[in-house]
């Protein structure tokens, strides 16, 4: 903290557990090749009563088709909505995937000079992977990548196809992230034999499957394992601090070149750690704060193994920007930043949470049309491909881990905490270099009023700050300001409220009083900047009512406008952001309050605008126009709109 009580997040050494390795996004280079494994895989769900037939019969020891009936399954995709089988749509337990791949001959030379790595972008939630019948990796948790070096297995049998077998289990327990519980229905007069259901405390469908790309990639045997970059800047110069980890030998040399977007070298360095000086830097600015948002340099790192004709090259995009917060402001590059954005979900028809490039690009076009400058990855880390576009377009991200639905007392115990700490390590390891990521969120709407929550969040947030001192940390609360035991440890207060929806339903007139009291109570208690991290109302597309009635498009518009009138007063004081719930309608479990999913989107699930989208578009562009730091070229564009 400086003398004014402001908190700066400057360059610092990011710390990692001793066993951690890097998780660089796979990119081709002169020394690295990449083979994508998307497409059709063989698939089989284990419908045995205990869901364990696949392990008892060792399905991984032979081609999956030889174990019994298999079906085609696309990867990446959720498996739930692909078929017409209702048992598969709501399936809980182990499912099996398999893919046979023919590898290039040059990858298979058994001379120890080439590593072959199998990498999964994410799979939900517990994964076990075999290659040619040998287990190579096991991973707990969805949403984050994992990989295995399979060189030894594939190089000893160069003429044999590489058979990849994956067993996934989507069961949630009180100690997973997100948590859940299995409820067994033992009354045989009411339920079939061996009947059970998965209970969760989150409001989105529990999609499962291999959700993100699966790739094989190569590196030399002496290779760049990890790169960590932090930045500081002034008006005339920026400093890019770097750390590089090389694995495979202790005898190597490192050279680094930082290039601008035109390919010009602006700084060079050598050695595993150091600092690059960049004169007159182009800073990374958020969308609508600069005529060239999302500016990135490219750090080319080359490792040369001593005494061996072997070289590895990796290029990392780098954005130069700083983060600084006071008791009333969030500053990016020294200028006030106001979050006017959305909450999102990875969710769409048919593919569920599976990565879909067409949908991703459509969503970013809608975000920019809307004038949104930010979003929260509610309620889990999003695909790396999405994060790349945030870096590119200047969309600011609150990066949230899968800590949603932490409601049960047993989910605050040491077993849960230890897993949560590991998940934060994995998330920061993946996204630590992204300029778009300005804050970590460690949970959404936990039962933070429970006594164990104090130690839990104190430990979790301290661990996150130790891993990455360069960013603020928060979690999103819906607890009472006077009872929340985790709020003392966050840097920014993120609060969710649904006045006139879940509370005082249909009574829009209570919003100004209740929302104002919410902000004033939180700020008086903590003296920290506040983001309205969720607010909104369901609307059924095409349902109209005047006067506005709940579920009509008019009611959603009216509720938003009531919230906005309070935001406009409080953003002149200490409110630093507003994130609508939600960007688009999304699927949930079936229930009497959900008709084919949650309808709080300002866009339909098919990405068509509701009336509320135009309300937000007008508001967000107006806020951008009022920004004192907005360039004239963008202001003229807004006036044109």
Name residue, tokens 């066993």. 19
Does the pLDDT at position 158 exceed 90?
no
**Would you please indicate which residues are annotated as catalytic (active-site) residues?**
445
Can you name the residues that pair with 496 across neighbouring β-strands? Answer: 534
Cα(461)–Cα(447) distance, integer angstroms: 16
| Residue 307 confidence (pLDDT) | 75
Instruction: Please report which confidence band the pLDDT of residue 111 belongs to, taking 50, 70 and 90 as the band edges.
Output: confident
| Residue 2 confidence (pLDDT) | 42
For residue 528, give both structure tokens.
């920290």
Cα(163)–Cα(118) distance, integer angstroms: 12
Cα(427)–Cα(563) distance, integer angstroms: 33
- Describe the crossing of helices 511-526 and 553-570 by its angle, rounded to 10 degrees: 40
Mean pLDDT of 212-239: 95
| Residue 638 confidence (pLDDT) | 52
**DSSP letters spanning 554-582:** HHHHHHHHHHHHHHHHHTTTTEEEEEES-
CA distances from 434 to 22, 91, 228, 230 (A): 15, 36, 10, 10
Can you name the residues that pair with 177 across neighbouring β-strands? Answer: none
H or E element that contains 387? helix 384-393
**Coil, helix or strand for 370?**
helix
Cα(449)–Cα(477) distance, integer angstroms: 10
| Residue 510 confidence (pLDDT) | 97
Cα(329)–Cα(628) distance, integer angstroms: 14
Cα(472)–Cα(440) distance, integer angstroms: 7
| Residue 8 confidence (pLDDT) | 59
H or E element that contains 406? none
* Contact (Cβ atoms closer than 8 angstroms) between residue 440 and residue 424: yes
Nearest residue to 307 via CA among 251, 245, 254: 251
| Residue 632 confidence (pLDDT) | 60
**Coil, helix or strand for 226?**
strand
Cα(577)–Cα(571) distance, integer angstroms: 8
For residue 296, give both structure tokens.
């990135």
Does the pLDDT at position 5 exceed 60?
no
Does the pLDDT at position 612 exceed 80?
yes
Does the pLDDT at position 232 exceed 50?
yes
Does the pLDDT at position 37 exceed 70?
yes
Does the pLDDT at position 639 exceed 50?
no
| Residue 629 confidence (pLDDT) | 56
Does the pLDDT at position 7 exceed 90?
no
Peptide bond into 547 cis (omega under 30): yes
Peptide bond into 552 cis (omega under 30): no
Mind listing the pLDDT tens digit for each residue in 381-413?
Answer: 999 999 999 999 999 999 999 999 999 999 999
Q: Is 296 left (phi over 0), alpha (psi -120 to 50) or beta?
A: beta
Does the pLDDT at position 3 exceed 60?
no
* Contact (Cβ atoms closer than 8 angstroms) between residue 447 and residue 426: no
Residue 561, exposed/middle/buried by CB under 10 A (0-12, 13-18, 19+)? middle
Q: Is 333 left (phi over 0), alpha (psi -120 to 50) or beta?
A: left
Q: What is the mean pLDDT of the chain?
A: 94
Mind listing the pLDDT tens digit for each residue in 437-479?
Answer: 999 999 999 999 999 999 999 999 999 999 999 999 999 999 9
Cite the DSSP H helix spans in 394-510: 414-431, 453-467
Residue 186, Cβ neighbours under 10 Å: how many? 11
For residue 121, give both structure tokens.
């972008």
Nearest residue to 118 via CA among 141, 140, 95, 134: 134
| Residue 623 confidence (pLDDT) | 95
């Amino acid at each position: 903290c400086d003398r004014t009580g402001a908190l700066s997040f400057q360059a610092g050494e990011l710390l990692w557990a001793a066993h951690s390795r890097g998780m660089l996004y796979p990119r081709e280079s002169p020394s690295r090749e990449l083979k994508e494994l998307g497409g059709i895989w063989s698939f089989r769900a284990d419908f045995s009563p205990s869901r364990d037939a696949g392990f008892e019969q060792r399905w991984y020891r032979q081609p999956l088709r030889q174990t019994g009936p298999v079906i085609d399954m696309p990867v990446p995709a959720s498996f739930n909505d692909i078929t017409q089988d209702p048992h598969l749509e709501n399936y809980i337990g182990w499912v099996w995937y398999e893919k046979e791949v023919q590898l290039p001959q040059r990858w298979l030379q058994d001379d120890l000079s080439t590593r072959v790595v199998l990498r999964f972008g994410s799979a939900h939630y517990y994964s076990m992977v075999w290659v040619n019948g040998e287990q190579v990796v096991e991973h707990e948790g969805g949403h984050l990548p994992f990989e295995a070096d399979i060189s030894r297995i594939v190089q000893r049998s160069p003429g044999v196809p590489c058979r990849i077998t994956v067993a996934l289990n989507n069961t949630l327990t009180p100690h997973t992230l997100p948590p859940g519980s299995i409820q067994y229905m033992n009354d045989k007069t009411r339920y079939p034999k061996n009947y059970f259901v998965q209970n969760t405390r989150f409001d989105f469908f529990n999609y499962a499957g291999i959700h993100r790309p699966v790739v094989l990639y190569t590196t030399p045997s002496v290779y760049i394992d990890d790169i960590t970059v932090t930045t500081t800047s002034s008006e005339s110069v920026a400093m890019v601090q770097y750390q590089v980890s090389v694995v495979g030998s202790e005898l190597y040399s490192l050279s680094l070149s930082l290039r601008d977007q035109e390919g010009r070298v602006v700084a060079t360095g050598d050695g595993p750690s150091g600092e690059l000086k960049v004169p007159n830097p182009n800073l990374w600015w958020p969308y609508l704060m600069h005529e060239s948002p999302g500016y990135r340099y490219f750090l080319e790192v080359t490792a040369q193994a001593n005494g061996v004709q072997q070289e590895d090259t990796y290029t990392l995009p780098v954005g130069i920007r700083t983060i600084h917060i006071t008791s009333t402001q969030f500053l990016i590059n020294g200028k006030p930043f106001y979050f006017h954005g959305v909450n999102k979900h990875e969710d769409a028809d048919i593919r569920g949470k599976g990565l879909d490039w067409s949908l991703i690009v459509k969503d970013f076009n809608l975000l920019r049309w809307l004038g949104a400058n930010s979003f929260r990855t509610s309620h889990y880390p999003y695909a790396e491909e999405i994060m790349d576009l945030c870096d590119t377009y200047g969309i600011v991200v609150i990066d949230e881990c899968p800590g949603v639905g932490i409601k049960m007392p047993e989910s605050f115990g040491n077993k849960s905490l230890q897993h949560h700490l590991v998940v934060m390590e994995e998330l920061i390891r993946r996204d630590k270099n992204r300029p778009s990521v300005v804050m970590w969120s460690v949970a959404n709407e936990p039962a933070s009023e429970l006594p164990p929550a104090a130690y839990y969040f104190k430990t979790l947030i301290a661990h996150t700050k130790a891993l990455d001192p360069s960013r603020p940390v928060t979690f999103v609360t819906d607890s009472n300001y006077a009872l929340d035991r985790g709020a003392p440890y966050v840097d920014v207060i993120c609060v969710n409220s649904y006045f006139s929806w879940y509370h005082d339903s249909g009574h829009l007139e209570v919003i100004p009083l209740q929302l104002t009291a919410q902000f004033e109570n939180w700020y008086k208690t903590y003296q920290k900047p506040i983001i309205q991290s969720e607010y909104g109302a369901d609307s059924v597309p095409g349902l109209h009512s005047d006067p506005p009635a709940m579920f009509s498009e008019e009611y959603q518009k009216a509720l938003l406008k009531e919230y906005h009138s309070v935001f406009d007063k409080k953003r002149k004081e200490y409110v630093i952001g507003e994130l609508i719930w939600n960007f688009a309608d999304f699927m949930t479990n079936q229930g009497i309050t959900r008709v084919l999913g949650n309808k709080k989107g300002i866009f339909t699930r098919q990405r068509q605008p509701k009336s509320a989208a135009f309300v937000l578009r007008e508001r967000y562009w107006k806020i951008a126009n009022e920004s004192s730091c907005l360039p004239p070229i963008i202001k003229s564009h807004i006036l044109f709109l």
